[in-house]
């Protein structure tokens, strides 16, 4: 499997409003052709992480690619819905926990916003420099 976003890149940028969406679709088509075993190896690979951080694939894409992951996700959603409908005390505890978690995350990000923004920009710039040209071919 080869993915090269350099070929035809200039033409795409001139013709399409969002050429990155087309690149994402091409990548998805290539990944969809992989066997389940190869897909599992890819998902755990460093290249997968690089593509995710570059914004070419997302966790949502990976879920679509894996039938087992999709089944597991749907099983969890149905279990949550059943617990909610039956007014299960475990469901109530989970809801309270998630509310508290979101509050704590907001408090931490608000408290450290300035330093986090600066650090994230620097880290992103360095990361993008370090992976430049390392994205193709995928194998």
Contacts of 50 (CB under 8 A, 6+ apart): 131, 134, 135
pLDDT at 69: 64
Yes or no: say if 5 and 13 are a contact pair by the CB < 8 Å rule: no
d(CA 42, CA 108) in angstroms, rounded, equals 34
DSSP 110: H
What is the DSSP track for 44-79?
TSHHHHHHHHTTSS-HHHHHHH-HHHHHHHHHHHHH
pLDDT in tens, 100-112: 999 999 999 999 9
pLDDT at 4: 43
pTM here is: 0.45
Closest CA to 128 of 69, 55, 64: 55
Tell me the torsion sign for CA atoms 137, 31, 36, 52: positive
Q: Which residues in the chain come in under a pLDDT of 70?
A: 1-19, 22, 63, 66-70, 127, 130-139
Here the tokens at position 13 are 């940028």
pLDDT at 82: 92
């Amino acid at each position: 499997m080869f993915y090269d976003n350099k070929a035809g890149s200039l033409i795409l940028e001139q013709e399409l409003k969002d050429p990155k969406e087309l690149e994402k679709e091409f990548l998805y088509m290539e990944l969809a052709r992989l066997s389940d075993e190869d897909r599992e190896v890819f998902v755990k690979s460093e290249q997968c992480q690089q593509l995710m951080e570059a914004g070419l694939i997302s966790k949502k894409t990976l879920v679509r690619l894996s039938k087992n992951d999709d089944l597991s996700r749907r099983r969890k959603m149905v279990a949550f819905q059943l617990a909610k409908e039956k007014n299960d005390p475990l469901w109530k505890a989970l809801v309270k926990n998630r509310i508290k978690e979101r509050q704590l995350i907001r408090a931490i990000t608000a408290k450290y916003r300035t330093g986090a923004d600066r650090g994230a920009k620097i880290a992103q710039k360095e990361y993008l420099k370090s992976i430049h040209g390392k994205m193709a071919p995928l194998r």
